[in-house]
Structure 1
């Protein structure tokens, strides 16, 4: 918990918001949305904090400006206006410059297209590779359960090795990604969020591989703190 608080406290401390100026110009569209509110959020020590809110009144496009000192993860949260709950959330890896997010009201998360962030582009590729491995693992688990329920316990047991092997591949896939993309902020982010929760075996290797500018970044500092 202490390590999580360290990370989120840093995230809050480096962001400010301005409607008219900022080094991140964020534009986008939520197709099909006419009424509702978009919230741009970050994590803070005591919870999630709203950095900006954009009210939709007849138009589906939006734009805002934020000041961020470096690439970091933010969240786009949608309140459709039909309830008090904010029932749609989209994570994105923000970077200074021009960014565009387009999605739909019907599939806010599934239809999201995020442009203008190299870290996001790399993270999307990582998530796609992880999804392929996870789908394979789920298929094996389903087959194992079916064999077991049908009384073919030997066949069910024979799949356990394949399941464990796929689990290891999911973990090593994250490690390889972090090492391959060590010159981007997404590398320590994946180490913190995808690797550390499973095992800290490769954290030291990843930490030593990242260049100085990444080590001094938001997630680089958090990785170093976590690896102490």
Structure 2
């Protein structure tokens, strides 16, 4: 029994410490970037209209990384990769952070595209939402291409039906987002989705979502942004 107890203490020490450092935050971001030999990683958050660095580390031979973060509330964070001599637009992985442990597995070639993020329930919901939305947006893009072709080949008689189909798809995009928000009203990712994707929805739907959100959600940073949006839209509605 004594050996089991000592073993448990050692395991706990390994979890809470790395390279002699004791964890001080409430979020541990870990991961591996395959094929990355050297570079610099930045963990950033949005402050007003700019991104500010929370922490950074130098990668030199070891492609694994770890950030110990003090998170005030669940919110979007950004993992930036500075490749050094190689420039690339694929250098940031956004993820919705929450307390606990989040792991990001990716590679140097497709840093964002191949990123697999686990450990965050809010991130999982965000990915689910974007997956469904992308289907609708893909259909709408195809309709826009059909519209351009109809104009190009002088088949304007098709424009009315194409425009109607496009409006129906846009309506479905909003209705899906509204239903998703109501079904997950206790999740902190909802106000983020509303303020970034659905901010121009009909006020009656915004009102319904806002009034049905869990009070704890409204206390988050994105919840406060949603509150400001709601109050602004309400003033406009009452004019």
TM-score tier by shorter-chain length is 0.7 to 0.9
Counterpart pick for 1:56 among 50, 56, 59: 59
State the distance in 1 between where 2:32 and 2:116 align. Answer: 10
Pair 1:165-2:142 in alignment: no
State the distance in 2 between where 1:197 and 1:83 align. Answer: 39
Q: Kindly state the Cα deviation for residue 200 of structure 1 after the two structures are TM-superposed.
A: 4.2
- The aligned residue for residue 208 of structure 2 is 205
State the distance in 2 between where 1:200 and 1:32 align. Answer: 48
Q: Kindly state the Cα deviation for residue 225 of structure 1 after the two structures are TM-superposed.
A: 2.0
* Structure 1 gap segments, 5+ residues each: 1-17
In terms of Rg, which structure is larger? 2
**CA contact under 8 A between 1:20 and 1:64: conserved in structure 2?**
no
Counterpart pick for 1:37 among 40, 44, 54: 40
**CA contact under 8 A between 1:88 and 1:108: conserved in structure 2?**
yes
**CA contact under 8 A between 1:79 and 1:87: conserved in structure 2?**
no
- The aligned residue for residue 182 of structure 2 is 179
With over 3 angstroms needed to count, the CA separation of the structure-2 counterparts of 1:38 and 1:200, relative to structure 1, is: farther
Aligned residues: CA RMSD: 2.0
Pair 1:225-2:239 in alignment: no
Aligned residue for 2:70, secondary structure, equals strand
Task: Give aligned pairs, total.
Answer: 211
State the distance in 2 between where 1:19 and 1:150 align. Answer: 67
> Which 4+ runs in 1 deviate beyond 3 A?
83-87, 197-201
- The aligned residue for residue 72 of structure 1 is 75
Deviation track 1:130-166 (CA, whole Å, cap 9, x = no partner) reads 1000001011111121122112111233211001111
With over 3 angstroms needed to count, the CA separation of the structure-2 counterparts of 1:117 and 1:181, relative to structure 1, is: same
* Structure 2 gap segments, 5+ residues each: 1-20, 232-239
Deviation track 1:76-125 (CA, whole Å, cap 9, x = no partner) reads 11111125787511110011111100111111111011100000000000
**CA contact under 8 A between 2:90 and 2:112: conserved in structure 1?**
no
Query: TM-score, with normalisation over the residues of structure 1?
Result: 0.86
Pair 1:146-2:153 in alignment: no
State the distance in 1 between where 2:163 and 2:132 align. Answer: 22
**CA contact under 8 A between 1:191 and 1:223: conserved in structure 2?**
yes
Q: Which has the higher helix share?
A: 2
**CA contact under 8 A between 1:25 and 1:99: conserved in structure 2?**
yes
Higher alpha-carbon deviation: 45-54 or 127-136? 45-54
Pair 1:215-2:218 in alignment: yes
**CA contact under 8 A between 2:90 and 2:110: conserved in structure 1?**
no
